[in-house]
Structure 1
Amino acid sequence: MAEFGEFMKILGEFGPYQKLVILFISLPLLLNPFQMVGQQFMVLDVPHHCDTSWIRAVGPNLTEEEQLNLSLPRGADGAYEQCRRYSPVDWDLDSIRTYGLNATEECRSGWVYPAGQPPSLLTEFDLVCDRKDLKDISQSIYMVGLVLGAMIFGPLSDRIGRRPVFLISISLQGFFGLGTAFAPHLYVYMAFRCVVGIAVSGTLITSLALATEWVGASSRPKAVLITHCCFTLGQMLLAGLTYGVRNWRLLEIAGNAPMFILFFYICMLPESARWLVTKGRIEEAKKVLQKAASFNKCTIPPELLEQLKLVKQTKSGSILDLLWKKHLRKVTLIMLFTWFANSLVYYGLSLNVTSFGLNIYLTQLAFGAVELPARLFCIFLLERFGRKKTQAVLLLLSGLMCLIITGIPEDQSVVITVLAIIGKFAATASFSTSHIYAAELLPTIIRQTGVGLYLMSARVAGVLAPLIHPLAEFHRAIPMAIFGSPPVLVGLLCFLLPETRGNDLVDDMSSKILEDLSKKDITEDGEDLEKDIYRSLESK
């Protein structure tokens, strides 16, 4: 029976066909940053105060300044209160001027915003004062969608294939993403955003599978990180898009409409040949491999193709296998904690872009720009130091940056932003590492189920991240302390994982690779032993 790695050697580990596949799965990721953090630019704080038009009934000729002076209380700093007004009374204007008003109440008639202000999510749905928490809740609803998407599309991708799930995901993202631009009510907007989160999760899961399963072992980090670099470019484009388009509905259209261009994938995107083999769909796998070979201008020997007939259809795995099988349990538990901590610090920094004290558009551009070298540098780190050490050190560094920020004075905005950028650099590189590492640790027949489970853990952290920011009202250091502590603790746990650098992907859960490695002490010298075990198993 031929090992699938032999076909990759003939096709080329990263030939023209594989590069085309990587390009196809990378393009949707250009729009994902808009879904992830674009809302932060639609809810920017603007000056506002309670609607006090009631006083116009008794003083129709009042100037705006006189109206506000008579109907709004002032704070300790002398500025008008934004969330309270004087209670309306049945007095005439002279009595109001003579005696003044004392009783106050909440803004029962709505709010007034600066004239000429472009419509934003905040001003249209009044996400201020006692409704301001709806901004963070709305972002968390999107993250809930990401959790649901991981639950649904992870196992589904292992059962029906990577290609159909990818196509379903980009379709949902296009239709419901564009639908948010026409949402008549905040709760409709939230519901549509939840579906978009489900779709984005499906896109991320299947792009990881296709990127890892279509290339050879040596090119795997490169392939995955190219897709991540497209996500990074999307973050940089987001800064320009949000700066140029201030109307939130037009911004939603601009950020979602391009997804419809990708519908040509129905004809162009191939299924994972490796997945087809594990499902016993041999003839389909042969056709896909021959198409790839033709595109790469090489020939697969007929006798090698015939050996695929000996491959038996493999039973589908489930989440329970990840927890019950001894050689997968430790990996699964540690990776669950790793993805949770990584997501917490990544979104904690990304969603806090408005709180570092500098121009938010420049900060977003810097956050996007720093991710590009982070992902490219990650290729060098993975090849030079391996997956385990890279994952552990990057997590530790990202967490430490957040913890250091808690001790920096609030008026040192430049220092805080620089530390946040360093933390974002480390968190980004760590996130990319965890994607590659997870794909290499899991067998093909359960890879998407496992990645979906890890993504669920990451998205739970994503749900919590926006809800942690309001804790700054009690003390400004609390959010950063929460974002920084888990990565430091989990980074130490990562040293318990096995190394996978340079090894081919595992297809069957009956493989003894991880089980054999779990009996060894993973040391510097032991890394060569790991490779020997993998190579000996491949030869068999």
Structure 2
Amino acid sequence: MDAELNTKYDTKDLKMEKMPEEKQEETDKLVKAIGQFGKWQLMLWLLIASPIKISSAWQQLGIVFIAPATSFMCEETNLTNIIEMNTCYSDCVSYNYYTDFENTIISQFELICEKAWLSNFTQTICMFGVLMGSIIFGFIADRYGRRPALLISCMLLLVTSVGEAFCKVYWLFTAVRFFIGLATAGTMLCSFILMMEIIGPMKRELMNCLCALPMPVGQMLMPLFAYFLRSWNNFCLGVGIPHVLYLAYFFILPESPKWLISVGRLEEASKVMTQAAKWNNLPTDNMLDIAKSIASEKVNSTEPLRKATYLDLLKTKVLRINIFGSCMIWFVLGISYYGSNQYIGQTSSNVFISVLLAGVLQIPGILLSGFFCRYFGRKITMISFLIVCGGSNAFLVVPEDWFAVRLTMGAIGVGCASGAFATMYMYTTEMFPTVARNMAMGASSTVSRVGSMLAPYVAGMTIIAAWLPPVAFAIVPIVGAITCYFLPETRGKTLSDHLS
């Protein structure tokens, strides 16, 4: 009798020990069906993620060449005899403009003197569009799917980026810039979420790096457009025309099979899975049965499927901690990333070289992000990047004569901020379930845009004291590192589908 009891007890223990391994196998059924990373995923990265990221750099940072530094001098006055450069006169009849470009929005719309603030206001409105787009397209993508949200944002970006070049009135130009920001946010968020949902856990770090690298590449290409297209409208047209590629997305862009399964559209999911398996030379049999099996594991079939809302991100303690922590870190990165880029831009009088350099310096940070995330985890990687970024920015308090030190520390700050941004994109997708993932990314990105809009004002505190901006840019990343301490580690974990 004792022997029988012991046998039963041992068998029970054995089953309990094997359960985690079996559970891991069950949750990886989608990955087994379509592959961790194959020709299908690579094709979508080349045709979708890369062009979108390159374009996002052009649209968010293009203001550098649309409204570059422009000097002016009064050409004719009614009363004043002595005329000085960059000085406004109430009796001036007309002004001449001096810049490296044939025409800028400053000279086109006469944004000088009492209207000088309008050139920065245009960028603020564009970033406000990015902020709103993060919310709107995050909701659309989670409610109606990644494919429709991405198609809408791509078509909106195609129309507005080309139409921008033909705006002859300042306020119309600024309104179009708002919709460009709106569309850019949608393309960035939806494409990234789609790519992360079709990749296996073992290749997530690789895909995250691949999705992040085109951004600095786009920034490095941008000076070439500006150098050969020396007027603001030609530049806008030059970076807008490549968006014609987006028309092909109506034929090649798939829906996320993970999202389709999460909302119960299993037949559609099986078709996408079959297509992926064919590309990756994997078996294509019984895809619908596999989709049904995955769906049955994720949610009780007797419960009706419910659409998630932004309020669902606050309903459980875990999600509340994750969303508040994520938003705080994205806010920190918004200030740190754009603040670091602004510093690099101030180290050279040649705008073409400074923008190119800022793009080059981001690549090492992104590559290190993938390596550290793979071997040390997301949490440690984020904390390390943020601490080094803060420490590097602290060295910017040295005198301006120490040019080499300031440039080196600024370069390290840019690289760390870029690496942290790349890490946080992946980290955020892993902390939230499929039905609310885009909304979480949208909310976090929204807060980041607030930080990016504050960055120029933080940098402008030099008028109060020269040491204030470096100190601010040093403290802010440390606050982000402390916040990250309270977030969970997500390395190697399967992406959840439903709200717990």
Alignment of 1:53-132 (within 5 A): 53-54=77-78, 71-72=81-82, 80-85=84-89, 106=90, 109-114=93-98, 118-132=102-116
- Of the structure 1 ranges 438-447 and 2-11, higher mean CA displacement relative to structure 2 is found in 2-11
Q: Does 1:304 align with 2:290?
A: yes
| Contact map agreement 1:388 1:498 (CA 8 A) in 2 | yes
Question: What is the distance in 1 between the residues matched to 2:381 and 2:131?
Answer: 26
Question: What is the distance in 2 between the residues matched to 1:194 and 1:71?
Answer: 42
Structure 1: unaligned runs, 5 residues or longer = 56-69, 74-79, 86-105, 511-540
Change in Cα spacing, 1:129 to 1:474, as seen in structure 2 (3 Å) is farther
Per-residue CA shift, 1:56-81, capped at 9, x if unaligned? xxxxxxxxxxxxxx6235xxxxxx25
Task: Give the RMSD, CA atoms, in angstroms.
Answer: 2.2
SS of corresponding position for 1:204: helix
1:191 pairs, out of 167, 171, 175, with 175
Q: Does 1:6 align with 2:29?
A: yes
1:108 Cα shift?
5.0
1:258 pairs, out of 237, 242, 252, with 242
1:45 pairs, out of 66, 69, 74, with 69
Q: For residue 495 of structure 1, what is the amino acid of its counterpart?
A: Y
Structure 1 partner of 2:358: 367
| Contact map agreement 2:345 2:355 (CA 8 A) in 1 | no
Change in Cα spacing, 1:244 to 1:474, as seen in structure 2 (3 Å) is farther
2:41 pairs, out of 12, 18, 25, with 18
1:242 Cα shift?
2.0
| Contact map agreement 1:138 1:190 (CA 8 A) in 2 | yes
Q: For residue 380 of structure 1, what is the amino acid of its counterpart?
A: F
SS of corresponding position for 1:497: coil
1:118 Cα shift?
0.6
- Of the structure 1 ranges 477-486 and 36-45, higher mean CA displacement relative to structure 2 is found in 477-486
| Contact map agreement 1:40 1:351 (CA 8 A) in 2 | no
Change in Cα spacing, 1:127 to 1:235, as seen in structure 2 (3 Å) is same
| Contact map agreement 1:37 1:350 (CA 8 A) in 2 | no
Question: What is the distance in 1 between the residues matched to 2:271 and 2:66?
Answer: 48
Q: Does 1:455 align with 2:445?
A: yes
Question: What is the distance in 2 between the residues matched to 1:115 and 1:427?
Answer: 31
- Of the structure 1 ranges 499-508 and 266-275, higher mean CA displacement relative to structure 2 is found in 499-508
Structure 2: unaligned runs, 5 residues or longer = 1-22
SS of corresponding position for 1:71: coil
Q: Does 1:295 align with 2:276?
A: no
1:491 Cα shift?
0.9
Q: For residue 40 of structure 2, what is the amino acid of its counterpart?
A: Y
Normalised by the length of structure 2, the TM-score is: 0.88
Per-residue CA shift, 1:128-178, capped at 9, x if unaligned? 333332222221111100110011011110000001111111111111111
1:51 Cα shift?
3.7
SS of corresponding position for 2:70: coil
1:321 pairs, out of 312, 318, 323, with 312
What percentage of residue pairs aligned between the two structures are identical?
28
| Contact map agreement 1:386 1:501 (CA 8 A) in 2 | yes
The structure with the larger Rg is 1
Alignment of 1:219-230 (within 5 A): 219-230=203-214
Question: What is the distance in 1 between the residues matched to 2:60 and 2:352?
Answer: 16
2:499 pairs, out of 503, 509, 514, with 509
Question: What is the distance in 1 between the residues matched to 2:448 and 2:306?
Answer: 28
Structure 1 partner of 2:386: 395
Normalised by the length of structure 1, the TM-score is: 0.82
Structure 1 partner of 2:12: none
Per-residue CA shift, 1:168-217, capped at 9, x if unaligned? 11111111111211111222111111100000100111112111100110
Per-residue CA shift, 1:82-122, capped at 9, x if unaligned? 2234xxxxxxxxxxxxxxxxxxxx46534222499611122
2:339 pairs, out of 344, 348, 355, with 348
Question: What is the distance in 1 between the residues matched to 2:68 and 2:292?
Answer: 62
2:253 pairs, out of 264, 269, 274, with 269
Per-residue CA shift, 1:378-423, capped at 9, x if unaligned? 1111011100011111112222222221x12224444322221110
1:373 Cα shift?
2.2
| Contact map agreement 1:72 1:81 (CA 8 A) in 2 | no
Change in Cα spacing, 1:368 to 1:117, as seen in structure 2 (3 Å) is closer
Q: For residue 177 of structure 1, what is the amino acid of its counterpart?
A: S
Question: What is the distance in 2 between the residues matched to 1:107 and 1:208?
Answer: 54
4+ aligned runs moved over 6 Å, structure 1: none
Question: What is the distance in 2 between the residues matched to 1:230 and 1:116?
Answer: 27
SS of corresponding position for 1:299: coil
